[in-house]
Structure 1
Amino acid sequence: MSVLLGEETQGAEQPSPDLDALRERVDALNARYRHHGATAVLEGALRDPEAGKIAMVSSFGAESVALLHLVAMVNRKTPVLFIDTRLLFAETLAYQQEIAERLHLENVRIIQTSARTLESRDPYGALRFSDTDACCALRKTEPLQQALEGFDGWITGRKRYQAKTRAEMEFFELEDATGRIKVNPLAHWGPEDTRAYMEENRLPKHPLVAQGYPSIGCAPCTSKVKPGEDPRAGRWRDQDKTECGIHIEGGVISRNTK
């Protein structure tokens, strides 16, 4: 299991992507796989030259094991990027190791912001109290963007039912800011599909789910959810915040889009 540290780097300026050509590629991929299921979409993403070099990004959270299992069946050597913010639940870290071993994932990369960078920008670990967006950027969005350098796209577990902004989400999307392709093989899955898949394949659940955490992020910013509440109600509770920034265009959170 390799470890990639999120250092602050000043590399050579990257050429601007040809967005028109990339949009044509995304349109072609969606047309090709429009009537296919999740496995076929994954096979296309990982084997179709039109998709390019693809990694998977996983939180190893409440529902992550379903997509990880699908990816493992297609290609266990797929790079799987796991962001360790250094503020995760101990249960998540243990679950990540358990799932990686059970599914025989051969290329899990643990992404962390470097200790030097944390010492410089959050020396007391208190940034989350004054600016949760800045904390998420420091510990999640920035190291992920560095880790994705060299990849043409990445696989996500997003689904249409999760938010109005995702209601018309396609299997393949283009990130204009980075020129990367997002692959959403579970776009058409509902919560019952994920549960059924996990049960049919006897996949272990995250241990915190049974304790009232249907959506799991960093320990300080995740609380239990009461019966009847939205599954994500425990994320940044009582704050005007619903996203960490990973799935926001360019990684920048705008309060006007909430």
Structure 2
Amino acid sequence: MGQNLKNDLLIEDLQQAAIDFKDEHPTEIIRWGIDRLGASAFTLACSFGYEDVALVDMLLKVDPDVDIFYLDTDLHFSETYEIRDRLHEYFQKEFTRVSPVLSLKQQATEHGEKLWEKSPDICCRIRKVEPLRNYLQGFEGWITGIRREQSPTRANTEVIEYDQTFGLVKINPLAFWDTKQVWNYIYEHQIPYNPLHDQNYPSIGCFPCTRPVRPGEDPRAGRWAGTQKIECGLHNTPLESK
């Protein structure tokens, strides 16, 4: 017998739903999750990158009351904070700020200056993973903008999964969409987006750890460039592929 999740869902239910909804429009995948768990059970993780601004539009068309949050590392580009404010005005939606326990000053005191240069994994854990883990405890499922096309580590992503790291249902509505499909949606619906995307930043993280991507490089090559790090730790391999 499969592992019981909340609302009598089984991991096998999620695996079957992933098959059934693989080719459905992202809004229908979102609708499935909300119908099964309820709007108050879900939250959307928004980094204000182009995938996420498209998802915000889709989600609000399904249910405008679903929570949307962002991880504020205190190290975002100014353009990221500006697009947050523009989207707030555009959608008339509050984005919940989730911040680390340690301020940058406290982090420097405990771990030394510019921790992101010396130990980027520890920096991401403090400023992203731990705040996310704490915040997700209040929910039964979360919605993300990760796509198979983004990197080899995301190549097995399903539209519906069990996230064993955080113990939640994980919905990835754009998993099978390519870059062109996402941008076509943004243009069609005239959604504001981060101008850094027009400056060779396909993936935008913290400013000390993100550079523009050169022609021919992987879309995430600008993240933690010069290190072996390719993920911040928020997204891990689906249970069924481990």
Q: Which TM-score applies when normalising by structure 2?
A: 0.86
Tell which deviates more after alignment, 28-37 or 39-48: 28-37
**Aligned pair 1:36/2:24, yes or no?**
yes
1:165-184 to 2 correspondence within 5 Å?
A: 165-184=153-172
Counterpart secondary structure, 2:99: strand
SS of 2:53's equivalent? helix
- Offset of residue 119 of structure 1: 4.8
Matched, 1:111 2:72: no
Contact kept in structure 1, 2:147 and 2:174, CA below 8 Å: yes
CA contact (8 A) 1:44 1:51 kept: no
List aligned pairs for 1:203-218, cutoff 5 A: 203-218=191-206
CA RMSD of aligned residues (A): 2.5
Amino acid corresponding to residue 113 of structure 1 in structure 2: P
Say if 1:33 and 1:229 are closer, same or farther in 2 by CA, change over 3 A.
closer
Matching residue of 1:228: 216
The CA deviation at 1:182 is 0.8
Distance 1:31 1:191 in 2: 22
Q: Which amino acid aligns with 2:14?
A: V
- What residue is the counterpart of 2:229 in the other structure? 241
Task: State the 1:36 CA deviation.
Answer: 2.3
- Structure 1's unaligned 5+ residue stretches are 1-16, 251-256
String of CA shifts for 1:78-135, please: whole Å, max 9, x gaps: 11110010011111011111112212224x210111346x555432542112100000
Asked whether the 8 Å contact 1:176–1:249 carries over to 2, the reply is no
Distance 1:227 1:35, change over 3 A: closer
Change in Cα spacing, 1:178 to 1:247, as seen in structure 2 (3 Å) is same
Which residue is 2:47 aligned to?
Answer: 59
Answer whether contact 2:71 2:132 (CA < 8 A) is retained: yes
Counterpart residue number, 1:161? 149
Task: Report 1:116-127 matches (<5 A).
Answer: 119-123=105-109, 125-127=113-115
AA matched with 2:178? G
Matched-pair contact (CA < 8 Å) for 2:102–2:126: no
Q: More helix by proportion, 1 or 2? A: 2
The total of aligned residue pairs comes to: 233
TM-score, normalised to structure 1, is 0.81
Answering whether residue 50 of structure 2 is matched by residue 77 of structure 1, we say no
Q: State whether residues 214 and 232 of structure 1, in contact with CA within 8 Å, keep that contact through their aligned partners in structure 2.
A: yes
Identity over the aligned pairs, expressed in percent?
A: 36
> Which residue pairs with 1:146 in the alignment?
134
Letter paired with 2:184: A
- 2: CA distance, partners of 1:155 / 1:73: 15
SS at match of 1:30: helix
Instruction: Encode CA deviations 1:113-172: one digit per residue, 9 max, x unaligned.
Output: 1346x5554325421121000000000010011011121110011112223343342211
